[in-house]
Amino acid sequence: MYNININPGRNTAMTNRERKEKGLVYCYDDPSLLGDQHIYQDKMVEYNRTLPTETEKRRQLLPLIFAEIGQDCTVETPLNANWGCRHVHLGNGVYLNSNVTFVDDEHIYIGDNCLIAPNVVFCTSGHPVLPVLREHHYVYNLPIHVGRNVWIGSGAQIMPGITIGDNSVIGAGSVVTGDIPANTVAYGVPCRVIRSIGKKDETYYYKDRKLDVWE
């Protein structure tokens, strides 16, 4: 169907590792790319087997799992990641609810005080649309950046290369395929900015329910 000569991993001067580091398509079945992936996964599984009451054990394991983790973070179980969160960076005060998934073939950065609801997926990896490339195991990875104080609703999907600005809200079930600016409410499939955060949010916390926390 496609008149293309594919010679996986050997049709350029670059190695698969070099292609991966440059954000280019590369062959994911190259054994040299696996490294200690299963060791990192083992640590994550160990964390998932802890009890909620084993707070000290969890505290000790978290820095061994994540690339970086700030103070006062809470990570509910189960936690899922194909590199065991080795490439996930958490700021201070981050809350990860249950069943958050990181496809962390590239780095994922989540800023201070972010709230991540259940079943959210952060996916740094994708496959080319052209069928012949998938047949030859080509893939690409792009980093994800989430600013500080972002709330991501349950079941949202964050796609490769996405940046979400500070203070923004991503509605439940959204598929985020483009960057989201700071201080906005965005939702939908695909996710789009609905409005800016402003005066209305100083009066109402949910629909017509008024805030009563101001002095």
Residue 34 in tokens? 């696996």
Rounded Cα distance between 121 and 81, Å, is: 10
HSE, CB side, 13 Å, CA atoms: give it for residue 151: 10
Rounded Cα distance between 164 and 120, Å, is: 14
Distance of CA 62 to the CA centre of its chain: 17
Q: What phi and psi, each to the nearest 5 degrees, are found at residue 175?
A: -115, 105
pTM higher than 0.75 for the full model? Answer: yes
Rounded Cα distance between 166 and 162, Å, is: 13
Which tens digits make up the pLDDT trace of 133-189? Answer: 999 899 999 999 999 999 999 999 999 999 999 999 999 999 999 999 999 999 999
pLDDT tops 90 at residue 7: no
- Hey, is 80 helix, strand or coil? strand
Which tens digits make up the pLDDT trace of 80-98? Answer: 999 999 999 999 999 999 9
| Residues belonging to the active site | 127
Domains and CATH numbers, the chain: 71-131+139-199 (2.160.10.10)
Distances in Å between the Cα of 6 and the Cα atoms of 9, 95, 168 are: 9, 44, 43
Residue 95 in tokens? 């809350």
**Band of the pLDDT at 34, cuts 50, 70, 90?**
confident
pLDDT value of residue 32: 78
